[in-house]
């Protein structure tokens, strides 16, 4: 295997703005802003997304502004027990799933405590006042300066794992990660995102503290200009990778990951809700959650029709599932759209597909049911193994299909499925990405040494029992259709299933291929070839080089673009898989 050329830290270069790095320089910048106003009293709100180490910010403020008054927003919150009671209906007792919370950030605060804090601020004279933490803008809505300290969701998850943060308003640093993540997914992130979106056009400065003790700060205008610039060009988000009980060894080599790790099961190369964007301002890299691009430029990024249907959400994700020299995924099923709306408050469901990026000889997927499967007997067998720990004979009930590299397996919701060992899947799916109902997990433990939760009670409500061998083979395996070809390229339609809102196209090419977003964002991955280059026919963006297995996004605003082999792949055959949202009858894919 050739040396990896996969870019783990893709960046977007931004001109015309400066980025301040280091606490001393950041404090100097704040002091300069204070001096400009020539006010005896100056109030600065340092609004923080959940997961920011507010104690670190406070420590540096105290060191640099010895005479300043510092207000800790957490002191105005409801106590932890009250917050637990507030969020319980949305966190629920289910080990994996909750319900999408409609809460606002002010629901986490005691109104009387907020009034006391405001009175405290008003009583100060001739002094600098810093209000620091989640809800700073609620306590000091008229602050002279608003600094927003943001935090990507992946970094939040890492901080949970090292027991360094609690959930929003909670005192649960040592709680199990699975609980903390669930509470964030259904409550904390929804609440903080709603609050963030009300402030984004008001930020004087944006603060990046993702890397501990390596803070950076840019002006709010610099961030907005950077985000606006991004929707006029192809770009990549910063991928992240995670081990798992069935994980493999392929990602280590192809993506140049830590060889000392046991495995890598997942690679998330396009999940804007959890990935980051890296902006380069001269010699400084500034990291911001990529969801900020969706929030600030939704129509230009997604396209008006997609934005009208989904709102400020990025509805397609690409990720890797690596079982090379690993094990089978869990036997699983995803909820129907009516079920996900009723039980979890989601307006669309997780239709998906497995594009087989690589596979050893003998690789397979479990997909659909055998013709003779009796639902009652299969469910009884699944319930029995949960009770007594015995083995479930999956091949007695579920069809097993041989697969090879570049096959495309379509998985509409309600279809039982499972990728087998010695396979690398490029998973192309709708974005509600935690809604997997595990039916059977081969009797193994999770990475924490504990049994992985099984969701049989949910799963049995959505299994489509008529998706048996004949139907599966006819409808959701390798549904390739040749659309056009020339001496230098071939375009094929590959899916997804008609019940999904995602369309996919594969292009094989030795020369230049022309694409058009037609007002709808595209997501592509280079599935064959070492390098390719994405170009604008009218030079509206700089040429963009991509490497094998890299996923990239082309905003709706881009319009026409071309892709051709480049560098090591010049004149060789390359291939991309492209996904986009079908805009005809789009309303049918969502439940409002």
Whether 385 and 500 share a structural domain: no
Q: The domain that contains 395 carries what CATH number?
A: 2.60.120.10
Whether 422 and 345 share a structural domain: yes
Asked, for residue 239, whether it belongs to a domain, the answer is no
Sequence-ordered list of residues with C-beta below 8 angstroms from that of 63, at least 6 positions apart, any chain = none
Domain with 313, as residue range(s), is: 266-475
Single out the residue in 425, 459, 475 at which a domain terminates: 475
Q: How far apart are CA 175 and CA 181, in angstroms?
A: 10
Whether 335 and 375 share a structural domain: yes
Residue 407: the pLDDT is 98
CA torsion through residues 288, 292, 294, 296, sign: negative
Residues 384, 335 contacting (CB under 8 angstroms): no
Residues 350, 432 contacting (CB under 8 angstroms): yes
DSSP-assigned beta bridge partners for residue 440: 331
Whether 149 and 72 share a structural domain: yes
Asked, for residue 11, whether it belongs to a domain, the answer is no
Residue 49: the pLDDT is 98
Single out the residue in 186, 214, 242 at which a domain terminates: 214
Closest CA to 430 of 319, 334, 577, 315: 315
Which residue in this structure is represented by tokens 């803070």? 215
Q: The domain that contains 83 carries what CATH number?
A: 3.40.50.300
Q: How far apart are CA 464 and CA 308, in angstroms?
A: 30
Question: What's the 3-state SS for 141-199?
Answer: CCCCEEEEEECCHHHHHHHHHCCCCCCCCCCCCCCCHHHHHHHHHHHHHHHHHHHHHHH
Q: How far apart are CA 359 and CA 571, in angstroms?
A: 26
Question: Tell me, what DSSP letter sits at residue 73?
Answer: G
Structure tokens at 290: 């990529």
Question: Tell me, what DSSP letter sits at residue 453?
Answer: P
Whether 200 and 333 share a structural domain: no
Residue 589: the pLDDT is 62
Sequence-ordered list of residues with C-beta below 8 angstroms from that of 343, at least 6 positions apart, any chain = 97, 99, 335, 458
Asked, for residue 451, whether it belongs to a domain, the answer is yes
Residue 193: the pLDDT is 98
Whether 189 and 60 share a structural domain: yes
Whether 337 and 398 share a structural domain: yes
Per DSSP, helices labelled H in 233-320 are: 250-254, 291-296, 298-302, 304-310
pLDDT below 50 — which residues of the chain? none
Which residue in this structure is represented by tokens 């082999």? 565
Residues 429, 352 contacting (CB under 8 angstroms): yes
Residue 389: the pLDDT is 84
Residue 499: the pLDDT is 83
Max intra-chain CA distance, the chain: 82
Sequence-ordered list of residues with C-beta below 8 angstroms from that of 166, at least 6 positions apart, any chain = 172, 173, 175, 180
Q: How far apart are CA 421 and CA 364, in angstroms?
A: 8
- Nearest-10 Cα torsion for 25, 26, 28, 32: 130
Whether 412 and 486 share a structural domain: no
Q: How far apart are CA 191 and CA 50, in angstroms?
A: 10
Asked, for residue 248, whether it belongs to a domain, the answer is no
DSSP notation for 491-558: EEEEE--TTSSEEEEEEEESS-EEEE-TTS-EEEEEEESSEEEEE-TT-SS--EEEETT-EEEE-GGG
Instruction: Give the containing element (helix H, strand E) for 355.
Output: strand 352-359
Domain count, the chain: 3
Sequence-ordered list of residues with C-beta below 8 angstroms from that of 550, at least 6 positions apart, any chain = 6, 7, 10, 236, 269, 525, 526
Whether 411 and 297 share a structural domain: yes
Whether 324 and 435 share a structural domain: yes
Whether 460 and 554 share a structural domain: no
Single out the residue in 408, 441, 475 at which a domain terminates: 475
Asked, for residue 254, whether it belongs to a domain, the answer is no
Asked, for residue 3, whether it belongs to a domain, the answer is no
Q: Classify residue 471 as exposed, middle or buried by CB count within 10 Å of its CB (0-12, 13-18, 19+).
A: middle
Task: State CA 535 to chain mean position distance.
Answer: 26
Q: How far apart are CA 360 and CA 424, in angstroms?
A: 9
Asked, for residue 236, whether it belongs to a domain, the answer is no
Whether 465 and 497 share a structural domain: no
Asked, for residue 445, whether it belongs to a domain, the answer is yes
């Amino acid at each position: 295997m050739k040396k990896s050329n996969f870019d783990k830290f893709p960046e977007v270069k931004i001109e015309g703005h400066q980025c301040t790095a280091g606490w001393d320089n950041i404090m100097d910048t704040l002091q300069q802003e204070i001096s400009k106003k020539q006010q005896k009293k100056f109030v600065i709100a340092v609004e923080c997304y959940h997961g920011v180490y507010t104690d670190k910010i406070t420590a540096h403020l105290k060191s640099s502004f010895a005479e300043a008054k510092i207000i800790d927003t957490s002191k105005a919150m409801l106590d932890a027990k009250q917050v637990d009671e507030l969020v319980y209906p949305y966190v629920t007792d289910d080990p994996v799933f909750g319900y999408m919370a409609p809460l606002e950030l002010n629901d986490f605060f005691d109104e009387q405590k907020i009034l006391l804090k405001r009175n405290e601020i008003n009583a100060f004279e001739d002094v600098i006042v810093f209000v620091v933490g989640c809800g700073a803008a609620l306590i000091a809505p008229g602050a002279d300066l608003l600094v927003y300290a943001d935090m990507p969701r992946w970094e939040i998850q890492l901080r949970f794992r090292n027991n360094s943060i609690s959930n929003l308003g909670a005192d649960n640093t040592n709680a199990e990660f699975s609980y903390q993540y669930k509470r964030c997914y259904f409550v904390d992130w929804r609440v903080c995102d709603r609050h963030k979106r009300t402030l984004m056009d008001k930020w004087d400065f944006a603060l990046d503290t993702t890397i501990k003790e390596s803070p950076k700060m840019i002006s709010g205008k610099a961030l907005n200009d950077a985000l606006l610039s991004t929707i006029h060009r192809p770009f990549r988000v910063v991928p992240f990778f995670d081990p798992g009980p069935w994980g493999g060894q392929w990602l280590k080599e192809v993506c140049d990951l830590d060889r000392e790790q046991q495995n890598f099961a997942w690679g998330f190369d396009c999940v804007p809700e959890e990935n980051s964007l890296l902006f380069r301002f001269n010699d400084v890299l500034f990291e911001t959650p990529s969801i900020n691009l969706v929030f600030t430029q939704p129509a230009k990024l997604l396209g008006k029709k997609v934005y009208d249907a989904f709102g400020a959400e990025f509805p397609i994700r690409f990720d890797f599932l690596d079982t090379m020299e690993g094990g089978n995924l869990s036997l699983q099923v995803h909820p129907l759209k009516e079920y996900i709306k009723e039980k979890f408050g989601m307006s669309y469901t997780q239709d998906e597909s497995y594009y087989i990026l690589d596979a050893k000889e003998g690789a397979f997927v479990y997909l659909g049911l055998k013709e003779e499967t009796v639902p009652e007997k299969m469910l009884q067998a699944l319930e029995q193994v949960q009770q007594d720990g015995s083995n479930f004979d999956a091949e007695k009930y579920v069809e097993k299909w041989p697969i090879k590299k570049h096959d495309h397996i379509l998985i509409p919701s309600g279809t039982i499925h499972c990728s087998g060992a010695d396979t690398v899947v490029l998973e192309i799916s709708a974005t509600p990405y935690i809604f997997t109902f595990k039916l059977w997990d081969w009797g193994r433990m999770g990475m924490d040494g504990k049994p992985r939760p099984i969701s049989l009670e949910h799963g049995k409500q959505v299994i489509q029992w008529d998706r048996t061998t004949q139907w599966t083979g006819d409808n959701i395996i390798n549904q390739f259709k040749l659309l056009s070809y020339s001496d230098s390229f071939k375009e094929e339609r590959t899916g997804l299933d008609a019940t999904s809102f995602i369309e996919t196209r594969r292009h094989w090419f030795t020369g230049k291929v022309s694409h058009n977003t037609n007002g709808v964002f595209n997501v592509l991955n280079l599935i064959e070839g070492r390098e390719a280059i994405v170009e604008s026919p009218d030079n509206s963006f700089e040429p963009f080089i991509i490497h094998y297995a890299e996923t990239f996004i082309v905003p709706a605003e881009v319009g026409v673009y071309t892709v051709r082999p480049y560098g090591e792949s010049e004149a060789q055959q390359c291939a991309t898989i492209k996904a986009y949202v079908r805009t005809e009858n789009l309303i049918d894919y969502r439940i409002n």
